[in-house]
Amino acid sequence: MPLTEARFFGAGDVRLLTAEPASPGPAEVAIAPLAVGVCGTDSHIVAGSFAAAPQVVLGHEVCGRIIEVGPAVDGLAVGDLVTVEPHDYCTRCTYCRLGQEHLCDDKRGYGVKLDGGMTERMVVPARIAYRLPDGTPPWIGALTEPLACCLHGMDQLDPRSGLPILIFGAGPAGAMMVALARARGLAPVVVLDPRDDRRAAALRMGADAAFDPASLDEATALTDGLGFPHVVDAVGAGRILESAIAVSSRGGRVLVFGVARPDDEARVRPHDIFARELTLVGAVINPYTHHRAVRLLPTLGLDRLRPAFYGLHQLPEALAAQRAGTADKVFIAPHGIAAARG
């Protein structure tokens, strides 16, 4: 039976097409995607501001059920609920050979360069399908990928428990950062976001306090005026980095996690970095954190987030909802909303 899939043809041009289902190769599995997260990257691809392969199937935050396994596949069976680690690496470049595959010269993301999950059927190598505990709601399962990215961010920040953290931005990533910060024993966990609903989401996820960015001084007062030893930019903007550095304590560590515009700039005083002995770290995607994210997933109370679901044919509405931020997280439900909710 033909299946429906959402393919990207160019800026502003996403088409729903039908295709004949492909069979999995010997070491591949076919998955019925049940919930596929819509993230900023998808919006940027469709807007033409993030490079993607022409005619690629979108969707990189995928949770689905296995419907067919290749003859050489071990350890996965039809009916298993899985999350996909959506990257392919060249395995031969210097970075790949140093265990830094996420910095690979020829990294290819599913849903960006390779066909992703916004389809009724997705075929992937079995080694990138990670089994989830039975009974995991598929939309929670689809959070594994963004959670794995947050986990890599936390690894890069390498915070010390018992000390404060300030998180700029309480979108889906910022909200998951809050949950991770709590799990790592950071206190207080303080969030800045201009939107009421996002501050509310941060508080639901366990933030101790959430302020409008205009109230930065009130936030800093929670550290007795010392500043924050840990600061996360979960927005991605030069002006946020400037504020993050300004509000760091001496010896502070600043994580650049949000995706800034490539041409955005920040004014940084080298003397600040030197005299206050600051550390600036970046984090991109999810090297070796997908496995750990699967294990953390049931412990973080991610069901406190408020999801919104759209069918494959409603992708434009889903992208608009993602951009507007009207739900905590937006999902495509290729096999219906009930199947995505679980």
Active-site amino acid positions: 41, 44
Instruction: Tell me the CA distances in angstroms from 141 to 68, 189, 208, 253, 334, one per residue in order.
Output: 19, 25, 26, 30, 15
Number of neighbours of residue 77 by Cβ within 10 angstroms: 11
Would you say 118 or 166 has its CB closer to Zn ion? Answer: 118
Would you say 209 or 284 has its CB closer to Zn ion? Answer: 284
Distance in angstroms (rounded) separating the CA atoms of residues 152 and 17? 35
Distance in angstroms (rounded) separating the CA atoms of residues 117 and 144? 14
Q: Which of 16, 17, 67, 90 binds Zn ion (CB under 5 A)?
A: 90
39 binds Zn ion (CB under 5 A): yes
Would you say 102 or 182 has its CB closer to Zn ion? Answer: 102
122 binds Zn ion (CB under 5 A): no
Distance in angstroms (rounded) separating the CA atoms of residues 132 and 85? 12
- Closest-CA residue to 90 (of 80, 71, 79, 105): 105
Count of positions on this chain that bind Zn ion (CB under 5 A): 7
| Binding span for Zn ion by CB under 5 A among 2-10, 85-93, 296-304, 334-342 | 85-93
| Binding span for Zn ion by CB under 5 A among 40-48, 242-250, 255-263, 270-278 | 40-48
36 binds Zn ion (CB under 5 A): no
Name the minimum Å distance from CB 79 to Zn ion: 26
Would you say 146 or 227 has its CB closer to Zn ion? Answer: 146
Q: Where does residue 187 fall: left (phi above 0), alpha (psi -120 to 50 degrees), or beta otherwise?
A: beta
Would you say 90 or 320 has its CB closer to Zn ion? Answer: 90
Query: Which x/- pattern, by CB under 5 A, does the window 95-114 give for Zn ion?
Result: -x-------x----------
93 binds Zn ion (CB under 5 A): yes
Distance in angstroms (rounded) separating the CA atoms of residues 220 and 203? 17
Structure tokens that stand for 110 in this block: 């599913």
46 binds Zn ion (CB under 5 A): no
58 binds Zn ion (CB under 5 A): no
Q: Where does residue 185 fall: left (phi above 0), alpha (psi -120 to 50 degrees), or beta otherwise?
A: left
Dihedral angle, C-alpha 309, 294, 123, 119, nearest 10 °: 10
Name the minimum Å distance from CB 285 to Zn ion: 9
CA 216 to centroid of chain Cα atoms: 26
| Binding span for Zn ion by CB under 5 A among 90-98, 108-116, 136-144, 301-309 | 90-98
Which positions lie near Zn ion, rule CB under 5 A? Answer: 39, 41, 89-90, 93, 96, 104
